[in-house]
Structure 1
Amino acid sequence: MFSPQGPSLRELTVQALSSVEHGYDLLAARFDATPFRTSDRLLDAVTRTLEPLGPFDSGLDVCCGTGAGLGVLRAVCAGRVAGVDFSTGMLAEARRAHPGADLVRADALALPFGPAFDLAVSFGAFGHFLPEEQHTLFARVHASLRPGGTFAFPLPAPARVGSRAYWTLWGFDTVMRVRNALRRPPFVMYYRTFRLADVRTRLETAGFDVTLLPVEPLGRRENGSPACRLVVARKG
């Protein structure tokens, strides 16, 4: 599951027993050698799906981590590329990988931007936000976009009920809930709290018009539905 360059089981345990911010600071130098980094296959597929929606000028990667999504912005944006994250360690890695990007340390629930961006993206971060925090997150992204700006992110199809992936995600969330009930500060990371119907409603409440696009390079499921959708939320 992990490369030799990745973290040890002990290091992952220490991270999981830390706060979210400190945990990612500890993991940052080895994060890209874990399966938690957004895959190049997904990044490439999202880039190909976004390209026809442009042109875009400036772009923002929300919760940019080590900067995997900044490469998508560079591919589809002609102007300024920026990333925001609250982990100093993750931003340091992003700065090494993308020296020309504007990187800002801030909480995504309090983004420090006015309406400055044409496109905002985010990859793999939404499990760190409780359902009741999602409206605040979407409202802050909305405020950071210019009129007509786009907030886009991939949302894989849910695991089939009863499948190995379904029980793996269910088990992970259960372990995290037990951990957070017993230890403080909490480490918020849940895989099953970001449901499309709820997310769409919260995006619309924040002022977005929402459409869904199939991420065709990732293929389709046995029933013909997309394996992954791109949520495209436009600011009016």
Structure 2
Amino acid sequence: MFAPQGPTFRELAVQALSSVERGYDLLAPKFDHTPFRTPEKVLASVAGVLGGLGPFDRGLDLCCGTGAGLDVLDKVCRDRVTGVDISAGMLAVAARAHPGAELVRADARALPLRAAFDLAVSFGAFGHFLPKERPNLFAQAYGALRPGGRFAFPMGAPARPGSPGHLALLGFDTAMRVRNAVWRPPFVMYYRGFGLADVGRELTEAGFSVELYALEEFGRRPDGSPRVRLVVGTKEK
């Protein structure tokens, strides 16, 4: 599951018993050697779709981590790109990989950047926010964009109930809830509650018009629906 350069079981256990911010500070030096980093196939597919919607000027990677999404922004944006994350450790790794990027340590729920960007992206971060926090999170993204700006992120189709993927997510979600019930500080990482219908409604309520693009590299399910979509919200002028 992990490359030889990745974290040990003990290191993962220490991270799991920390807060989200402290946990990622600890994991940062080895994060890119774990399966938690967004796969290159996803990044390339998203860049391909956004390339057809752009070009864009300024780009923002929301919850940028070690900077995987900055690679996408570098491909589709003409001006300097910016990454925001709450973890100083993750930003330190991103700074080494992307010396030309502007990196800002901030909580995505209270962004200090207003109406400055033409494109915002985010990869794999939404499970760190409780469902009740998402409306504000989407409002923050809306406020960071210029009129006509776009907010984009990939979403996989939900696993079929009873399938190995569904059971794995259910087990992980249950383990996290038990952990947070008996240990403080909490470590929020719940992905089963991030559904397309709720996300579309919350983006619309934040002021976005929403479009969905199939990431065809990942194929389609037996019913013909895409296995992975790119959700794109546009801040109307």
Distance between the aligned counterparts of 1:17 and 1:52, measured in 2? 42
- 1:192 counterpart residue number: 192
Shift of 1:51: 0.9
1:222 to partner: Cα distance: 2.5
Deviation string, structure 1 residues 34-87 (Cα, Å, up to 9, x no partner): 000000011001111111111111100000000000000000001120000000
**TM-superposed deviation, 1:159:** 0.8
Q: Report the 3-state secondary structure (helix = DSSP H, G, I; strand = E; otherwise coil) of the residue aligned with 1:112.
A: coil
Q: Tell me which residue corresponds to 1:106.
A: 106
Normalised by the length of structure 1, the TM-score is 0.99
Where does 1:4-15 land on structure 2 (aligned, <5 Å)? 4-15=4-15
SS of the residue aligned with 2:170?
Answer: helix
**What residue number does 1:96 align with?**
96
Given the two structures, how large is their TM-score scaled by the length of structure 2? Answer: 0.98
1:187 to partner: Cα distance: 0.1
* Structure 1 segments unaligned to the other structure (5+ residues): none
Q: Which residue of 2 aligns with 1:157?
A: 157
* Partner SS state of residue 150, structure 2: strand
Among the aligned pairs, what percent are the same residue?
Answer: 67
Residue identity in the other structure for 1:21 = E
Q: Stretches of 4+ moved more than 2 A in 1? A: none
Contact 2:116-2:145 within 8 A present in 1 as well: yes
The SS at the match of 1:160 is: coil
CA distance in 2, matches of 1:215, 1:79: 26
Q: Which residue of 1 aligns with 2:81?
A: 81
Contact 2:80 2:100 (8 Å CA) reproduced: no
One-letter code aligned to 1:118: D
Give, in angstroms, the shift of residue 233 of structure 1.
0.2
The CA deviation at 1:223 is 2.4
Q: 1:169: how far off?
A: 0.3
Give 1:1-236 correspondences, 5 Å limit: 1-236=1-236
Aligned to 1:69, what secondary structure does the other structure show? helix
**Could you report, residue by residue, the CA deviation over 1:184-213 in whole angstroms, capped at 9, with x for unpaired residues?**
110000110111111111111111001111
Aligned length: 236
CA distance in 2, matches of 1:233, 1:223: 25
Report deviation, 1:32.
Answer: 0.3
In 1, are the aligned partners of 2:108 and 2:140 still within 8 Å (CA)? yes
CA RMSD of aligned residues (A): 0.6
Amino acid at match of 1:138: F
Shift of 1:217: 1.9
- Flag structure 2 segments of 5+ consecutive residues without an equivalent: none
